[in-house]
Amino acid sequence: MPGPLTYTMFHTPLGWTGVAATPAGICRVALALSGEPEFLKTLRILHPSPEKRGDKLAGVEKEFHLYFRGMLKQFSCKLDLTGGTCFQQQVWRKLMTIPFGKTKSYKWLARSVNRPKAFRAAGNANGRNPVPVIVPCHRVIRQNGDLGGFTGGTHLKQFLLDLEAKSYGTI
């Protein structure tokens, strides 16, 4: 990964949340962390020496706090999603079109990226989203209404969906 990698950690209703960025934008979000060593282990796969710089990431931290208070529908920070394949990036961009408080199916996701039979591949790309919450992969569920999977557990996905359902229309 070229250039410096900065990160910060802060507490949210899900526990510790870690956010990392390159000069191009946010490249990694980790939810429900046990602590800083867990996040650093992940970051060192991307960069040999990540630097803790909460001052540089204060804006995104503020947006996370607003989101969890039900006062923010869409994040405004720049993203660096260059770590994914072309297909993954296409899926991640499509995720950003799912409105706050709404859900779509894996089948919809596959169709929307012009790969109607690739709903499993679209689901896998969804699961590899490096910036959950900012790119709302939690808004994708099975066509029958079941949650499907979520990195960190479906209880986190349910929490995020419930938060948005409660806040929908009030922001």
Whether residue 93 sits in one domain with residue 39: no
pTM: predicted TM-score of the whole model, two decimal places:
0.94
List the catalytic residue out of 27, 77, 86, 137. 137
Is pLDDT at 36 greater than 60 in this prediction? yes
pLDDT at 169: 64
Quick one: 90 and 63 in the same domain? no
Q: Among 160, 168, 162, which residue's Cα sits nearest to residue 32? A: 160
Model pLDDT for residues 100-153, shown as the tens digit of each residue: 999 999 999 999 999 999 989 999 999 999 999 999 999 999 999 999 889 888
Are 93 and 157 within one domain? yes
- Residues 110, 39, single domain; the answer is no
Total domains present in the chain: 2
75 domain-assigned: no
Residues 41 and 104 in one domain: no
Q: Look up the domain containing 34 and give its range.
A: 6-68
Query: Is 137 labeled as catalytic in the residue annotation?
Result: yes
CATH number, residue 137: 1.10.10.10
The answer to whether residue 50 is domain-embedded is yes
Alpha helices, DSSP H, located in the chain: 36-46, 58-68, 86-95, 106-112, 119-127, 154-167
Percent of the chain with pLDDT over 90: 87
What percentage of the chain exceeds 70 in pLDDT? 97
Q: What average pLDDT does the segment 68-89 reach?
A: 94
